[in-house]
Amino acid sequence: METLKLEAKKRTLTGKAVSQLREKGLLPAVMYGKGMESLTLEVAEQPFLKVFKAAGESTLIDLVLDGKTDKVLIQEVAHDPLSDKIVHADFHKVSLTEKMHAKIPLVFIGESIAVKGLGGVLVKNVDELEVECLPTALVHEISVDISKLVNFGDVIHLKDITVPPGIAVKHLHGEDPIVSVAEPRSEEEMKALEEKPVASVESVEVIKKEKAEGEDEEAPAAGAAKDEKKK
């Protein structure tokens, strides 16, 4: 995979003043890591979105700052609660010689006969794996071929997935189910589900709006806060 690169600049605006950056197409960001003080940064929004789409949170990127390149992960992004637009990013500077914990998303590929042909329901028990590995062993995603699911009740377990070398899966065991196929619900079950009360869209929007009004303009650097606690 081609090395992903992103340019960054040191940021002087903080707090509510960061809204001025967003108006100029810039995103406020923070870089943190073991043994270093957190740095407040700014990155161009469109290049960031392009890199984030390709890298996600489990692929190393080259962050270029003042002519120096650091290997980082996009550790966490904050979204506007109303528009869902990204408004802040955390970059975690990593050591290439120290193992780290990360989450790698699962991508379900192929076609299940039990789902398409028999009308079964695909049940995803896990959509990402928590792993421990060297940063250089990280992959963008891990594929799960659901074409193996032929009959109702068929299950793909963790042991059935090909995990790349150098990656140790945490908190799960070989027999733990990852994805399975269940029989389609009966008309009676579907009717019972339809009769359950559902929160109105208006009430959800009010909750989101109240939450947005109570937040600061600049999203907190969650990863940086965690890193500070470790010191």
Pick the CATH number of 101-194 from 2.40.37.20, 3.30.420.40, 3.40.190.10, 2.170.120.20: 2.170.120.20
Q: Give 44-50 contacts, CB < 8 A, sequence gap 24+.
A: 44/7, 45/86, 47/6, 47/7, 48/6, 48/86, 48/89, 49/86
CATH 2.170.120.20 residue ranges of the chain are 101-194
How are strands ordered across the β-sheet holding 155-157?
Answer: 121-124, 177-182, 155-157
Please tell me what DSSP assigns to residue 139: -
**For all residues of the chain together, what is the average pLDDT?**
86
**What CA–CA distance (Å, rounded) separates 93 from 35?**
10
Of 18 and 93, more confident: 93
Closest CA to 231 of 35, 45, 78, 75: 35
Q: Provide the whole-model pTM.
A: 0.72
**Is it the case that residue 215 has pLDDT exceeding 80?**
no
Q: What is the pLDDT of residue 15?
A: 85
Residue type, 71: K
Reported as a single tens digit per residue, the pLDDT across 27-79 is 999 999 998 999 999 999 999 999 999 999 999 999 999 999 999 999 899 99
Q: What is the pLDDT of residue 3?
A: 85
Q: What is the pLDDT of residue 228?
A: 46
Q: What is the mean pLDDT of residues 83-105?
A: 94
CATH 2.40.240.10 residue ranges of the chain are 4-94
Closest CA to 49 of 14, 92, 11, 79: 79
Question: Kind of pairing, strands 26-33 and 86-93?
Answer: parallel
**Is it the case that residue 231 has pLDDT exceeding 50?**
no
**What CA–CA distance (Å, rounded) separates 7 from 40?**
14
Q: How far is CA 29 from CA 13, 104, 180, in A?
A: 11, 22, 39
Domain 4-94, second-level architecture: Beta Barrel (2.40)
At 137, give phi and psi (nearest 5°): -90, -10
Closest CA to 156 of 179, 189, 188: 179
